[in-house]
Chain A
Amino acid sequence: MLPFIIRRFFHLIPTFIGATLLAFVISQLVPGDFLTQKALEPDVRPETIDRLRQQFGLDLPWPVQYGKWIWNIVRGDLGMSFDSNQPVINVVRRPIQNSMYLVILSIVLLYAVAIPLGVYSAVRQYSIGDQVVSVVSYFGLAIPNFFFAQVLILGIFVTRSWTREAFGFNELLLPVAQMTSSNYLDLSPLRKFLDILWHMLMPAFVVATAGMAGFTRVLRAQMLEVLGSDFIRTARAKGLGHQTVTYKHALRNAVIPFIAGIGGLLPGLIGGAGLVEVVVSWPGITPTFLQALSRQDIYVVLGLLVVSSILLMIGNLISDLLLAVVDPRIRYH
C-alpha cells in the first residue's frame, strides 16, 4: 500500500507543474496588468508605477516570473496581492474557509437525504415513490443552481408577506443573503456558530440538491445490481430479515463507490457552490475570485487556482486510497 501512495504522490508532481504553468500562461495572456489600471488614477506618479513594477517583478520575462512564483509556492508563499497590498494567503484564507463551511454542510445534507432515497427507490423499484424520486431527480439535474437559489429567495419573501397578513409575523423564514447577521460581533461564540449555520441552510440546500439528483440515481442502480446478486439470495434463504439484508448486506456494498467519491466531492462542490455564493452574497471563494479577476489582481487569482487545484488533486488521491481500503477486490501492485 505504501509504495502505491508514494508512487501516486510523485505522479501528481508533473500534473501540478502543468496545471500551475497553464494557469500562469493564461494569466499572462490577459492584456495589461494591475498597474496599467493603477496608472490611470490621477494621483499616481509614473515613478511610483515603475517602482511597483520592479517591486512585484512585473518587468521580468514571464518564464522568470513563473519560476520565482512556483518556487515561492513550494515554500508556502502565494505572493502579494496588488490590490490590498498584503500576502495572498491572508486574502484567500477566509473565503476558502467560508466556502468549506458551505460545502461540508451541503455534503452532510446530500448524504442524509440521498442515501435513504436511493435505497428506497431500489427496494421499491417501479413503485409510485420510486417514480416520484426519479422525476424529482430529473428536475434537480435540470434546474441551474443560481436560478434555484433565486427562486428560493423569492419564495422566502412571499412567505413573509403571507405570514405578515395572516399572523402579523414580519420576519424572514431564513436569511437570504450574507453569512452573518448585522449584530454578529456582539454574539457569544455559540450564538455566532448558530448564526452562521442559520445563514448557511438555504445555500447549502441548493448546493446539495445539485448533487442529490445524480447521487440518488447512481445509488439506486448500484443497489439494484447488488440486490440481484447471489449472496443476497443466500442471505434471504438463510432467513435473515428484510432490514438486515437491505442495510447490512446490500447497502454496504452499494455505497462503496460513494465512500471512494468523498475525496472527489469536496473540491467538486466548491466549484458547484460557485454561482450560489454570488446569488446570496456568501463571502466565499467564487466572489473573491471574480473580484480579483476584474481588478487584475493576478496573484490572488493564481493563488485561488493553485489552492483549489491542490484540493482537487488531494481529493482524487484520497478517493483512490479509500477505494483501495474499502473494496478488498482492488489490489495495487
Chain B
Amino acid sequence: MAEDPSATTFSVTDAGEPLSQRSKSQAQIIWEQFRKHEAALIGGGILIIMYLMTALAGFIAPYGLNEYRRFPVTAFHPPSKIHWFDPETKRLAKPFVYVTTAERDPVTRQRVYREQPQEGEYPIRFFVRRPEHSYKILGLFRSDLKLFGVDEPARLFLWGTNNLGKDLFSRVLFGGQISLTIGLLAVWVSLFLGLLLGGVAGFYGGRIDDLIMRLVEIFDAIPGLFLLIVLASLLKDPRNPLAQAFGLKMTSAETFLMVVIVLGLVGWGGLARTIRSLILSIREQDYAQAAKALGASESRILWRHLLPATASYVIVVLTLAIPGFILAETGLSFIGLGPSEVDSASWGLLLRDATARGISIQFVPWLLLPGIPIFLAVLSWNLVGDGLRDAFDPKKRR
C-alpha cells in the first residue's frame, strides 16, 4: 500500500494539540458496557422495584403483617376477585369487590367463600387512611396512609390469606424486608472473612497459608446444608454461649443477625480461596515487584496494590453470591430455622405454611405465591452479576 507522506506529517503536528475530550474513567467504561447488557438491565430494574416495594411495605401493603380478623372468618381466603364491569350496565366501572362469607362445600368439606352481591359493591379506593393501623417507613416516618384498600366489612386479599386469615400479599411485602436484605448483609460477613484470610494466605504464603487453607478445607469437608442447619439451630437457642456472653435475649433482630453471621460463616471459604489465588498471581507481577523494590512496606503493597487489583473480580463474585445467600435463607426458614418469628415472616417461612400438616395444596394453591418473589430476586441478582462480569471483562467489550 502506498503511504501518503503528507498524512503522516499531518498526524504528527496534530498530536501536539490538547485533546478536546477527556479519556473515560474505568467506572464510565464499566457502566457503558453494563448498559449494553439488556438482560442485566432488566434484572437491575426488577431489583430496584422489589427493594423499593419492600422498603415501602407499610404503605403498599393494605394490611399489617399480623393483622387478621376472627369474625367473620377469613382463613384460607382465596385471592379476592376484582370486578371491572358494572353488573347492571355491563360497562367498565371503577374496580370493586364483594363481601364474602364462608361456607362448607357439601362434597369436599372444604371451606369456600361466596360473594354476596346483595350487600353492595365495595370499590377499591386509593390513598386511604387507616388511623388504627399506623406504620413506620424504614423505622423513621410514622404514617397511616395506605396506597389502596376497601371499606369494611369487605376485604381485599390480592394473594389470598393463610390459615389464620392474614393477608398473604401484605406478608410477602413485609417478608421481603428480611429475605432481600439478609443476602446483602451476609455477603459482607463473607467478604470480610474471605478478604482477610484469603489476602493474608496469599500474601504471606508458607505456614500461615497452609494453616488458613487447611481451615477452608475443614469447613469444606462438612456439607454446607448440614453445617448451616446445625449452626442455625445452635445460634437460635437463647441459651447459646454467644447469647450468654453478650447478654442477648434472642429477639427477632438478634436472631436475624445470628442468621446473617451463620450464612457468612458457611460461605467465606470459596471467596478466601479465589482471593488467595488472585493475590498469588498478582504478587508476581512487575508493578508489585517494582513497589517492593522501591521499598514500599508490606501493608502498603497489600492494601494499595494487591487488593485493589482484585476489586473487579470481587464485585462480580459478591454479586453472584447474594442470590445464593437468599436461597440459603429461604431454605433455612422453610425448615423453621430461619430468622423469622411472629413479628416477621421471611418468604421461606411463608412457603412453609403450604406444607403444614393437614393442608392439601390443591385447595389452597395461592400459598405457593411467595415462591415467585424468591425466584424473581434470585434470577435478577444472577442476571446483574453476569452483566457485571461481562462488563468488567476486557475481552468481552462491545
Contact = CB atoms under 8 A, between A and B. Distances in A.
B222 interface: yes
Nearest to A290: B335
B374 A15 contact: no
A221 to B, nearest CB: 13
Contacts of B365: 154, 158
Contact of A32 (B224, B239, B362, B383): B239
Given A29-B241, A138-B379, A308 B226 contact: yes
A138 B381 CA distance: 11
Given A15-B214, A142-B378, A144-B371, A308 B239 contact: no
Contacts of B222: 19, 22-23, 305, 308-309, 312
Given A31-B237, A158-B362, A289 B229 contact: yes
Contact of A308 (B217, B223, B234, B375): B223
Contact of B368 (A22, A151, A289): A151
Contact of B379 (A18, A142, A294, A312): A142
B330 interface: yes
B240 A304 contact: no
Interface in B329-349: 330-331, 334-335
Contact of A154 (B237, B323, B368, B382): B368
Contact of B239 (A15, A31, A279, A293): A31
A15 B214 CA distance: 7
B226 A147 contact: no
A29 B234 CA distance: 7
Contacts of B374: 144, 147
B189 interface: no
A150 B355 contact: yes
Contacts of B382: 138, 141-142
Q: How large is the interface on B (under 10, 10 to 19, 20 to 34, 35 or more residues)?
A: 35 or more
A32 B376 CA distance: 41
B226 A289 contact: yes
A313 to B, nearest CB: 6
Contacts, number: 134
A147 B351 contact: yes
Contacts of B383: 138
A267 B239 CA distance: 33
B378 A30 contact: no
A309 B221 contact: yes
Contacts of B355: 150, 278-279
Interface string A45-59: 000000000000000
B361 A267 contact: no
A32 B240 CA distance: 10
Nearest to B330: A144
B225 interface: yes
Interface in B97-130: none
B379 A293 contact: no
Interface stretch (A198-206, A269-277, A322-330): A269-277
A23 B382 CA distance: 32
Interface in A124-177: 138-139, 141-147, 150-151, 153-154, 157-158, 161
Q: How large is the interface on A (under 10, 10 to 19, 20 to 34, 35 or more residues)?
A: 35 or more
A286 B218 contact: no
A53 B218 CA distance: 30
A153 B334 CA distance: 17
Contacts of B195: none
A309 B224 CA distance: 10
A27 B383 CA distance: 39
Contact of B351 (A19, A31, A150): A150
Given A32-B239, A275-B334, A154 B351 contact: no
A16 interface: yes
A301 B327 contact: no
Interface in A212-247: none
A222 B270 CA distance: 22
A14 interface: yes
B335 to A, nearest CB: 6
A304 B362 CA distance: 35
A312 B361 contact: no
Given A14-B214, A143-B375, A147-B375, A153 B226 contact: no
B354 interface: yes
Nearest to B371: A147
Nearest to B364: A154
A279 B354 CA distance: 10
B29 interface: no
Given A15-B214, A18-B218, A154-B368, A270 B223 contact: yes
B226 A271 contact: yes
A139 B224 CA distance: 23
Interface of B: 214-215, 217-226, 229-231, 233-234, 237, 239-241, 323, 327, 330-331, 334-335, 351, 354-355, 360-362, 365, 368, 371, 374-376, 378-379, 382-383
23 contacts: A16-B221, A18-B214, A22-B218, A29-B240, A30-B237, A31-B239, A141-B382, A143-B375, A144-B327, A147-B374, A150-B354, A154-B368, A158-B365, A268-B223, A271-B225, A275-B225, A278-B334, A278-B335, A293-B230, A293-B233, A305-B222, A308-B222, A312-B221
Given A138-B382, A271-B225, 8 more contacts: A15-B221, A22-B218, A23-B222, A144-B374, A150-B371, A154-B361, A278-B335, A289-B226
